[in-house]
Amino acid sequence: MGVAVTKKAIDLGIVTTNGDAMLAFYRDVVGLSYQEATPMPGGSGTMHRMLCGDSLIKLVVVPKVAAPAAPGGIPGANGYRYWTITVSNLTEVVEACAKAGAKVIIADKEVRPGVRIGMVTDPDGNWVEFLQAG
């Protein structure tokens, strides 16, 4: 059967205690389109909503977390370890991230004919992949 999808994109939630740095990275460096900030139920934090194409990125800033995510990117642990943004300016966006202090995991690598990727870490150490095809 499967799901009956009603939106051509996903919503992604990123939970952090490092709100200022994470918001600056995704909004100001990566350039996601900032929509609004809304309080979380029960006063447990603030959700900053940003658009990445048609996908909604929800940066949830909380005062504390029960446990930090395991470091190490893709080989660091099971579960969600990175996410991909398809771009037309791979070199420029990776350079902007590096200039802002992001650790560059992969600067520019062809992974198959006509497809290149770059990979960086956000201020919390989460891996973000940028992919350029064509």
20: enclosing H helix or E strand: helix 19-23
Instruction: Examine the pLDDT at 25 and tell me if it is beyond 90.
Output: yes
Q: How far apart are CA 51 and CA 116, in angstroms?
A: 23
For the domain made up of 76-134, the CATH class stated in words is alpha beta
Q: How far apart are CA 6 and CA 134, in angstroms?
A: 29
Residue-wise pLDDT tens digits, 87-101? 999 999 999 999 999
- The number of beta carbons lying within 10 Å of the beta carbon of residue 72 is 11
CATH 3.10.180.10 fits 8-64, yes or no: yes
Give the per-residue pLDDT at 81. Answer: 93
| Residues with Cβ within 8 Å of residue 121, at least 6 apart in sequence | 73, 102, 103, 105, 127, 128
Q: How far apart are CA 56 and CA 77, in angstroms?
A: 25
Mean pLDDT of 65-81: 89
| Residues with Cβ within 8 Å of residue 49, at least 6 apart in sequence | 34, 35, 36, 37, 38, 56, 57, 58, 59
Domain map of the chain by residue range?
Answer: 8-64, 76-134
Residue-wise pLDDT tens digits, 105-129? 999 999 999 999 999 999 999 999 9
38: enclosing H helix or E strand: strand 33-39
Give the per-residue pLDDT at 66. Answer: 84
User: Given this chain, do its domains 8-64 and 76-134 carry the same CATH topology?
Assistant: yes
Global pTM reads 0.93
